[in-house]
Amino acid sequence: MKYRYLGNSGLSVSTVCLGTVTFGQSNWGCDEKTSTSILNAFIDQGGNFIDTADKYADTFSEEIIGKWLCKQNRDELVIATKCFFKTGKDINSRGLSRKHIISACDASLRRLQTDYIDLYQIHETDPQTPLEETMATLDFLIQQGKVRYIGCSNHPAWKIMKASCIAKQRGYESFISGQYLYNLLKRDIEIEVLPACRDVGMKLICWSPLSGGMLTGKYTESKKPPEDTRIALRKDLSENRYPAWYEKSLAIVNKLREIASKRGQTPSAVALAWLLKNESVASVITGAKKTDQIIENCKAGEWIIPDDDWEALDELTKISYGYPFEVAKKTFQRWFDDIL
């Protein structure tokens, strides 16, 4: 397994991160026994980075990890969790207020059976709480020793920049990472989020890098996902928020199969390696329902995709940045042509 620093920090994480959204999910996930086996297999493969959230399986994911974690060498692992979503009946048990963040962090610490969280992330944006209040509270948790580093997830670029400015002006700790949906089928963050992260020294943690299993290469020509698959059971992956099943998807999957066959890899490894070729990406989050799935995905952390294969996939999946980015790109090209 290879490792990378997470943003402008000294924290090293494995390039493959174990995502635990499947842990404790009765319909499309895995039970506690299987989850524990997956955790053990991940560590055996050299992984040290585990991501969860208080929202996952209604807090059960954190509980499963906690039972396992108390039997491990805690200092050798990097545990990441998140807060934002409602976890109780009280009106204040949600969002990014001082009250909820502190309560949510204490609850996660109890469930995880640990004294500290390595990376504490705010899961989504709060439309009411001032960002100044959120950043001050996260800094407070670091000063208390309950949290080592902080990151954000699913935030627009302007929020990243605003958070960075608040931290610098007030002497707070800054985000070192951003966790975002990023894969060969969904490259939207390249327009604004990715440049913003680069500018403030944050690194990306990519969630759904295999697009809910779409990029594993297991789906053949079809008009819709096969029944009883994760991509079919989760309508957000097939129909709603970030659909992976669209007209061009299978053409991209076929290209992955072609490259995988040529290079002696799996389509999953090729898709993950394409992301890891990007220096802005620190780690890719891969979930699993079976032990052999995480072992296979961990191998992608060792393989470097050749430039010509990366470029072929880049060209096939390229998106339009639109205005004003396309105008700026041409201006920059002319600018440096005049100098060089």
pLDDT tens digits for range 161-213: 999 999 999 999 999 999 999 999 999 999 999 999 999 999 999 999 999 88
Q: What's the confidence (pLDDT) of residue 201? A: 98
Q: If we measure between CA atoms, which residue out of 272, 283, 206, 208 comes closest to residue 11?
A: 283
- Return the domain boundaries, the chain: 3-339
Query: What single-letter amino acid sits at 159?
Result: K
Among all chains, which residue has been given the structure tokens 């974690």? 69
What are the φ/ψ torsions at residue 55 (nearest 5 degrees)? -75, -30
Residue 25 token pair: 């999910």
Q: What's the confidence (pLDDT) of residue 328? A: 82
CATH no. of 3-339: 3.20.20.100
Beta strands at 147-153 and 117-122: parallel, antiparallel or unpaired = parallel
Q: What's the confidence (pLDDT) of residue 218? A: 79
Average pLDDT, the chain: 92
Q: What's the confidence (pLDDT) of residue 27? A: 80
Q: What's the confidence (pLDDT) of residue 325? A: 86
**pLDDT tens digits along 255-266:** 999 999 999 999
Q: Do 284 and 272 touch, CB atoms closer than 8 A? A: yes
Among all chains, which residue has been given the structure tokens 């100044």? 132
Q: What's the confidence (pLDDT) of residue 225? A: 60
Helix/strand/coil for 117? strand
Query: What is the spatial distance between Cα 21 and Cα 88, in angstroms, rounded to a whole number?
Result: 19
Q: What's the confidence (pLDDT) of residue 329? A: 79
CA–CA distance from 311 to each of 53, 206, 277, 314 (Å)? 35, 20, 11, 5
**Does residue 56 have an active-site annotation?**
yes
**pLDDT tens digits along 44-77:** 999 999 999 999 999 999 999 999 999 999 999 9
Of 223 and 67, the one with more pLDDT: 67
Catalytic residue chosen out of the listed positions 3, 56, 120, 182 = 56
Query: What is the spatial distance between Cα 19 and Cα 55, in angstroms, rounded to a whole number?
Result: 13
Q: What's the confidence (pLDDT) of residue 256? A: 96
Q: Is the pTM above the cut of 0.75?
A: yes
Q: What's the confidence (pLDDT) of residue 118? A: 98
CA–CA distance from 236 to each of 218, 252, 315, 331, 334 (Å)? 19, 20, 26, 38, 42
> H-helix or E-strand containing 19?
strand 16-19
Residue 1 token pair: 């397994």
Residue 15 token pair: 């390039």
Of 301 and 177, the one with more pLDDT: 177
Q: What's the confidence (pLDDT) of residue 221? A: 61
